[in-house]
């Protein structure tokens, strides 16, 4: 397949360096820095020869028409936003490799039977809107609700306003969602975000499934008092109760580590009030995130956790409330796409390894529209969502060639 490795690497370096200066590698969705990256991407899409625009949900899409009328498009891409202080290659590898595949076809005077759409999905990473993720793919698949659009971040901006800020049309989101069966396939290239491929010296991972993710807001309420004047036996310290929940969640998740589908649980966001050195914490609001391929275990975890710790919280004179934020079921990658990836890798002389994705991806929502699949390439020491995230140019090229080959195979095999 025609892949310009130097151009692809140069683009990766250019986009990754569009980062907040004081905390690389950061390009958060719904910020001026994100718009700077989007403007650069759109210009690259147009220069490559793609018909380029932003849909109602704020997704940047470049389209290359196919040779046969009436065929649904093949979508390839990922996202360009990052988590704070991480994500130098997470997301942008998939977008820019997809662009390289499309541009290679154009430069060679080729077309596929199906239209090809290169997509930069909006806000795949958890956003400042109550941690909501995969906003663009939710919108495209009809899963972005009025309740989601009403969410607000700390500065008062609503998600509806945020989508308009990046060039989308939030008033048209519901009516412009794509229908089930409206795409022929979706394929994404991504770094593994783990150590399996690197440890086994396998250049290509074929993703079998994407885990389910549930997030809940857990509020522990006690009483704020003077830290010096309130004796220990008389305190209702909300942070102590929060600590009991955190420890219990850790132990509860650890107990599943030997299961066929282990579960992971994280309290990654905590707000303490009044958050003063001389005050007993009166309230703690935390976000619990649970992930597993076992959907039933994911759904039941938060409620079971609160019930198990409730006697300790009662003894501390604390109240606890758990509210769902989001719940995304696990999704299996389609056999037809996994087979296409395997065939393309073999044609490129690259070894493969089947493995699940422990991270969430836009494909979870795009799966409502048609079959999905993912290609993984190794990342150094498995580091991701961290400043140390790194990959090599040769690994990028291997992934891009496999992506191009899989698109060719799918184009030939799908109606």
Please check whether residues 11 and 139 belong to one and the same domain. yes
Question: Does residue 179 sit in the same domain as residue 201?
Answer: yes
Task: State which of 309, 328, 347 marks the end of a domain.
Answer: 328
Q: How much is the pLDDT for 2?
A: 79
Condensed to tens digits (0 to 9), the pLDDT of residues 292-312 reads 999 999 999 999 999 999 999
Do residues 321 and 232 both lie within one domain?
yes
Residues 194 and 74 in one domain: yes
Cβ atoms of 71 and 166 within 8 Å: the answer is no
Identify the domain boundary among 307, 328, 349: 328
Instruction: Examine the domain organization and report whether 29 and 74 are in the same domain.
Output: yes
Which backbone phi and psi does 259 adopt, to 5 degrees?
Answer: -75, 160
% of residues, the chain, pLDDT over 90: 98
- 151 plus 229 within the same structural domain: no
Question: Over 80: is that where the pLDDT of 234 sits?
Answer: yes
Provide the CATH number for the domain around residue 75. 3.40.630.10
Which alpha helices (DSSP H) does 217-294 contain, by range?
238-254
Does residue 162 share a domain with residue 22? yes
Give the CATH number of the domain where residue 282 resides: 3.30.70.360
Say what the alpha-carbon torsion angle 205, 206, 207, 208 is, to the nearest 10 degrees: -130
Burial 313-335, CB ≥16 within 10 A → b, else e: beebebebeeeebbebebbbbbe
Q: Are residues 115 and 64 in the same domain?
A: yes
Indicate whether 198 and 234 sit together in one domain: no
Say if CB 39 and CB 80 are below 8 A apart: no
Rounded to whole angstroms, the Cα distance separating 345 from 352 reads 7
Average pLDDT over residues 158-183: 98
The answer on 346 and 221 residing in a single domain is no
Q: Cβ–Cβ contacts within 10 Å for residue 296, how many? A: 9
Domain boundary among 311, 328, 345: 328
Q: Whole-model pTM?
A: 0.88
* Domain extent for 76: 5-211+330-413
pLDDT of 135 > 80? The answer is: yes
Are 203 and 350 contacting, i.e. CB atoms less than 8 angstroms apart? yes
Structure confidence at residue 87 as a pLDDT band (50, 70, 90): confident
Instruction: Report d(CA 338, CA 355) in Å as an integer.
Output: 11
Q: Cis link prior to 25 (omega < 30° from 0)?
A: yes
Q: What is the pLDDT of residues 330-385, one digit of tens each?
A: 999 999 999 999 999 999 999 999 999 999 999 999 999 999 999 999 999 999 99
* Same domain for 232 and 95: no
Count of structural domains, the chain = 2
Token duo for residue 319: 């109240």
Please state, in angstroms and rounded to a whole number, the distance separating the CA atoms of residues 216 and 55.
30
Same domain, 207 and 225: no
Tokens at 138, concatenated: 């939710």
Q: What angle do CA 213, 366, 181 make, to 5 degrees?
A: 140
């Amino acid at each position: 397949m025609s892949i310009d490795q130097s151009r692809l690497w140069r683009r990766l370096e250019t986009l990754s360096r569009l980062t907040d200066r004081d905390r690389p590698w950061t390009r958060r969705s719904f910020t001026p820095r994100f718009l700077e990256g989007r403007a650069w991407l759109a210009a690259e899409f147009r220069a490559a020869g793609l018909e380029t625009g932003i849909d109602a949900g704020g997704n940047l899409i470049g389209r290359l028409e196919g040779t046969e009328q009436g065929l649904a498009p093949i979508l390839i891409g990922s996202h360009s936003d990052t988590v704070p202080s991480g994500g130098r290659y997470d997301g942008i590898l998939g977008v820019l490799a997809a662009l390289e595949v499309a541009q290679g076809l154009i430069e060679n005077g080729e077309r596929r039977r199906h239209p090809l759409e290169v997509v930069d999905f909006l806000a795949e990473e958890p956003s400042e809107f109550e941690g909501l993720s995969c906003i663009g793919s939710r919108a495209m698949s009809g899963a972005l609700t009025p309740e989601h659009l009403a969410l607000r971040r700390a500065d008062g901006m609503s998600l509806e306003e945020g989508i308009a800020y990046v060039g989308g049309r939030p008033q048209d989101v519901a009516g412009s969602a794509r229908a089930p069966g409206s795409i022929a396939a979706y394929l994404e290239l991504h770094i593994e975000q783990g150590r399996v491929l690197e440890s086994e010296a396998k250049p290509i991972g074929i993703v079998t499934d994407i885990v389910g993710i549930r997030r809940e807001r857990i509020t522990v309420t006690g009483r704020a008092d003077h830290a010096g004047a309130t004796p220990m036996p008389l305190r209702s310290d909300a942070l102590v109760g929060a600590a009991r929940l955190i420890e219990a969640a850790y132990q509860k998740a650890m107990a599943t580590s030997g299961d066929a589908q282990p579960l992971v649980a994280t309290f990654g966001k905590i707000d303490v009030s009044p958050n003063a050195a001389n005050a007993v914490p009166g309230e703690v609001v935390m976000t619990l995130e649970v992930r597993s391929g076992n959907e039933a275990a994911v759904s039941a975890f938060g409620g079971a956790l609160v019930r198990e710790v409730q006697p300790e919280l009662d003894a501390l004179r604390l109240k606890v409330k758990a509210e769902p934020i989001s719940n995304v079921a696990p999704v299996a990658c389609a056999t037809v796409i996994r087979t296409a990836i395997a065939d393309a890798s073999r044609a490129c002389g690259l070894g493969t390894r089947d493995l699940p994705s422990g991270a969430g991806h836009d494909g979870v929502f795009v799966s409502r529209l048609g079959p999905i699949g993912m290609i993984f390439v190794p990342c150094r020491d498995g580091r991701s969502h961290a400043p140390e995230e790194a990959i090599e140019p040769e690994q990028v090229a291997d992934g891009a060639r496999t992506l191009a080959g899989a698109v060719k195979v799918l184009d030939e095999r799908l109606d």
